[in-house]
Amino acid sequence: MSAIEFRDHDHAACMRSTMQAAEAQCTARGLRLTPVRRRALEILLAEHRALGAYDLLAHLSAEGLGTQPPVAYRALDFLVKAGLAHKIEALNAYVGCVQPGADHAPAFLICRGCRSVAEAETTPSQSRLGDAARAAGFRIERSVVEAEGLCPACQKDDI
Amino acid sequence: MSAIEFRDHDHAACMRSTMQAAEAQCTARGLRLTPVRRRALEILLAEHRALGAYDLLAHLSAEGLGTQPPVAYRALDFLVKAGLAHKIEALNAYVGCVQPGADHAPAFLICRGCRSVAEAETTPSQSRLGDAARAAGFRIERSVVEAEGLCPACQKDDI
DNA sequence: TCAGTCATGTTATATCATATCAATACGAAA
DNA sequence: TTTCGTATTGATATGATATAACATGACTGA
Ligand SMILES: [Zn+2]
Ligand SMILES: [Zn+2]
Ligand SMILES: [Zn+2]
Ligand SMILES: [Zn+2]
């Protein structure tokens, strides 16, 4: 589980298996992966990069799947709620989930060079933040953990 | 250091000492805490809450300190760069720093009930995310750690 | 005093996101 | 199969967040 996103890999196979897992999830949970939603997910998964809602909309629009912002935001909303995509808060952008189904608390490594995003796991409750929360009597419902920096490839290109 | 923000405390004294620390920082580092910037910081510190840029602008504007968005964004940019305020990415909002000067990697506890924000410390390098980053050869430059949930007071009010 | 830099004023615009209502498609129940 | 309720999509408008660009003014140090 160490950041396949930054490594060379058979991405065609990577996409296929991820889409299959996403479909399985939807079937199992009675969710409808409609054409727009499915295509939106494929677009997000096409590269391990964060895409803005309007970038996604441009792709969808080019394929005749809708032209107005709500089209993109509805698809993203569905995918995020279904755990098939994640929002990167630091970028106001979205990325396809590479382990759909795992009911996870993801953390992200975000390259500021190429905008690639790798997904890791967190355990908020075991973190120092978890300690602080307990001490303060704060009940954590959701956590955002995002690290920005440079991926191995972009480090070689210097800045 | 356990989340004074959620507890009853002498907030007038809290603000005074924080402002003094902020001034000391600016003096020491040759930064200019101009009237707009100073007032912006006071407004952010007035409550331990995240404030949107336009909320801040409304306050400043009411006091004759500027009417256009760049006024607020410039002040916020200065304060954030100086470490006197922080941006809460999950809210697109800003909060005054209660430990200015400490060159820290802050983490936040954000109440969805009252929008209060408490600041804690992280140690990204010691986290599981740090492990994942090292394993992937990713160089972390900045980290965003934000936990949303309910503060003690808002838990009592149920949902 | 003058040049250089930092800060502010002002206008315009870019970018991200949602409210609302109408029309349609779908699936379960009768 | 028809009917009804709900989920989805289409379309228009608007709200919310953020920055570009350029002019003007203030402070600083030669
Ligand atoms: Zn891949
Ligand atoms: Zn990169
Ligand atoms: Zn206080
Ligand atoms: Zn609260």
* Residue ranges making up the domain that contains B78: 4-157
Question: Which of A6, A128, A152 minimises the CB distance to B121?
Answer: A128
Per the structure block, which two tokens stand in for B57?
């602008």
Asked if strand C comes closer than 7 Å to A90 Cβ, the answer is no
Residues B133, A149: C-beta atoms closer than 8 Å? yes
Residue B151's SS3 state is coil
Enumerate the β-bridge partners of residue B150: A139
Residue A121's SS3 state is strand
Instruction: Please tell me the total count of domains within chain A.
Output: 1
- pLDDT reading at A52 higher than 70: yes
* pTM metric for this prediction: 0.94
Using CB atoms and an 8 Å cut-off, which of residues 3-32 of chain A contact chain B? Answer: 3, 6-7
Spatial CA neighbour of B18 closest among B59, B55, B47: B47
Residue A26 pLDDT grade (very low, low, confident, very high; cuts 50, 70, 90): very high
Residue B17 CA distance to nucleotide D17 C1' (Å): 32
Q: Report yes or no: A121 and A143 within 8 Å, Cβ to Cβ.
A: no
Residues B138, A107: C-beta atoms closer than 8 Å? no
Rounded to the nearest angstrom, the minimum Cα separation between A128 and chain B is 6
Residue spans of alpha helices (H) in B100-140? 128-136
Task: State chain B's mean pLDDT as an integer.
Answer: 93
State pLDDT tens for residues A54-109: 999 999 999 999 999 999 999 999 999 999 999 999 999 999 999 987 678 899 99
Give the CATH number of the domain where residue A35 resides.
Answer: 1.10.10.10
pLDDT for A129: 86
Q: How far apart are CA A40 and CA A78, in angstroms?
A: 10
State pLDDT tens for residues B59-116: 999 999 999 999 999 999 999 999 999 999 999 999 999 998 767 889 999 999 999 9
Per the structure block, which two tokens stand in for A95?
């990325």
Residue A157 pLDDT grade (very low, low, confident, very high; cuts 50, 70, 90): confident
Residue A107's SS3 state is strand
